A and B are shown apart, each in its own frame.
Chain A
Amino acid sequence: MKTKLNNKSEVKVMTGNETAALAATLCRPDIVAAYPITPQTEVVEKLAQYHASGKLDAEIINVEGENSAMNSITAASLAGGRVFTATSSWGLVFMYDAILVTAGARAPVVMVNVNRETPGMIAVSSGQQDMISTRDCGWIFLIAEDCQEILDMVIMAYRLAEDHDIQIPVMVHYDGFYLSYMAERVEIPFQKNVDDFLSVLKQQPERTKLMPGELLGCGSHGILGGYMEMRHKHCQAMERAKGKFEQINLEFEKKFNKNYGGQVEEYKLYDADIALLASGSMCGTIKTVIDEKRKHGIKIGLLRLRMFRPFPNEKIVQALKGKKCVGVVDRSLCFGFKHGPICVELRSFLSDIGDTKILSFIDGIANTDIKKDNVKKMIDLIIAGSKGEDVPEVTWVSYDENHGGN
Chain B
Amino acid sequence: MIEVRFHGRGGQGAVMASKILATAFVKIKKYGASFPMFGFERRGAPVTAFGRFSKEPIREKTQIYNPDILMVLDPSQKNSSAVFQGLVSGGIMIINYDNDPNDISHENLETIGSIDANTISIEEIGMAMPNTCLLGAFAKVTGTIDLKPVIESFKDYFQGEKLEANARCAKRGFDEVKILIKN
Contacts and interface: CB of A to CB of B under 8 A. Distances in A.
A287 B59 CA distance: 8
B76 interface: no
Contact of B26 (A13, A15, A284, A285): A13
B36 A181 contact: yes
A11 B30 CA distance: 12
B23 A284 contact: no
Given A13-B19, A38-B41, A124-B40, A181 B61 contact: no
B26 A178 contact: no
B156 interface: yes
Contacts of A15: 19, 35
Nearest to B50: A182
B22 A285 contact: no
B19 A178 contact: no
A393 interface: no
B32 A288 contact: no
B65 interface: yes
A184 B39 contact: no
Contact of A183 (B22, B59, B60, B61): B22
Contacts of B23: 12-13, 183
A183 B39 contact: no
B19 A183 contact: yes
Nearest to B59: A284
B33 interface: yes
B39 A125 contact: yes
Interface in A11-40: 11-13, 15, 38
B51 to A, nearest CB: 9
Interface stretch (A63-71, A190-198, A367-375): A367-375
Q: How large is the interface on B (under 10, 10 to 19, 20 to 34, 35 or more residues)?
A: 20 to 34
A183 B33 contact: yes
30 contacts: A11-B26, A13-B19, A13-B22, A13-B32, A13-B156, A15-B19, A124-B39, A125-B39, A146-B59, A177-B35, A178-B61, A179-B61, A181-B35, A182-B33, A182-B61, A183-B23, A183-B33, A184-B22, A184-B32, A185-B31, A185-B33, A282-B61, A284-B59, A285-B60, A285-B61, A288-B59, A288-B60, A367-B37, A369-B62, A371-B63
Interface of B: 15, 18-19, 22-23, 26, 31-37, 39-41, 58-63, 65, 156
Given A125-B39, A183-B32, A367-B39, 18 more contacts: A12-B23, A13-B32, A38-B39, A38-B41, A181-B36, A182-B35, A182-B61, A183-B33, A184-B22, A185-B26, A284-B60, A284-B61, A287-B59, A288-B60, A369-B62, A371-B62, A372-B60, A372-B62
A285 B33 CA distance: 13
B40 A38 contact: yes
Given A124-B40, A125-B39, A371 B65 contact: yes
Ranked nearest first, the 6 interchain pairs of A and B with the lowest CB-CB distance are A284-B59, A281-B61, A184-B33, A13-B23, A182-B35, A183-B19
Contacts of A185: 22, 26, 31-33
A12 B59 contact: no
Interface of A: 11-13, 15, 38, 124-125, 146, 175, 177-179, 181-185, 281-282, 284-285, 287-288, 367, 369-372
A370 B62 contact: yes
Contacts of B40: 38, 124
B161 to A, nearest CB: 20
A306 B134 CA distance: 40
A185 B39 CA distance: 24
Contacts of B59: 146, 284-285, 287-288
A379 to B, nearest CB: 15
A179 B40 CA distance: 16
Nearest to B29: A11
Given A13-B26, A38-B40, A183-B22, A369 B63 contact: yes
A52 B59 CA distance: 34
Contact of A177 (B18, B22, B34, B37): B37
A184 B36 contact: no
A41 to B, nearest CB: 8
Contacts of A287: 59
Nearest to B33: A184
A288 B34 CA distance: 17
A383 to B, nearest CB: 22
A271 B147 CA distance: 46
Nearest to A16: B35
Contacts of A182: 33-35, 61
Nearest to B31: A185
A398 to B, nearest CB: 12
Contacts of A281: 61
A185 B59 CA distance: 11
Contacts of A178: 35, 61-62
A290 B41 CA distance: 35
Contact of B62 (A12, A13, A285): A285
A175 B62 CA distance: 12
Of listed A13, A125, A288, residue having the most chain B CB within 10 A: A13
Nearest to A373: B65
Contacts of A367: 37, 39
